[in-house]
């Protein structure tokens, strides 16, 4: 139960940070492209890389705090950072085939299933 509470607290922090970031970016750059999403994906991936390396090589923190930061804050700020870390870990283990499958499958299937969901709901609503 403690772990779920840590994820929930971190999730609240990350989702609020994402919303505030999106609003700030929208005010400065407009809405022609999803610059806010691009920004949080890049920033979240960078921060995840920094903290993952820091916590695995220099600083030891508890599982609860790692969960709050990674599964809570960063995963709700951007799920892309989790995806990027998974790809990096597979690549560092020289599992290039699995990394390619993971990248292709995640991107293509996620977009494909989004369109499938749109199509399904449009069918239900019409």
pLDDT tens, 3-29? 999 999 999 999 999 999 999 999 999
pLDDT band at residue 35 using 50, 70 and 90 as cut-offs: confident
- Determine the pLDDT at residue 16: 97
Tell me what the mean pLDDT of segment 31-56 comes to: 88
pLDDT band at residue 110 using 50, 70 and 90 as cut-offs: confident
Contacts of residue 73, defined as CB under 8 A and 6 or more positions apart, other chains included, come to 10, 11, 13, 14, 17
Q: Please check whether residue 78 is in contact with residue 15, taking contact to mean a CB–CB distance below 8 angstroms.
A: no
Most distant CA atoms of the chain, gap in Å: 57
- Determine the pLDDT at residue 62: 95
């Amino acid at each position: 139960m403690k772990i779920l509470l840590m994820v929930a607290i971190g999730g609240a922090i990350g989702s609020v940070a994402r919303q505030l970031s999106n609003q700030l970016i929208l005010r400065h750059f407009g809405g022609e492209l999803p610059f806010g999403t691009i920004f949080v994906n890049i920033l979240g991936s960078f921060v995840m890389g920094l903290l993952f390396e820091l916590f695995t090589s220099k600083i030891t923190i508890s599982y609860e705090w790692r969960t709050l930061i990674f599964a809570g804050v960063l995963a709700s700020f951007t799920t892309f950072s989790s995806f990027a870390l998974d790809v990096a870990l597979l690549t560092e283990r020289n599992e290039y085939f699995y990394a390619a499958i993971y990248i292709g499958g995640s991107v293509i299937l996620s977009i494909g299933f989004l369109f499938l969901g749109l199509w399904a709901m449009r069918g239900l609503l019409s």
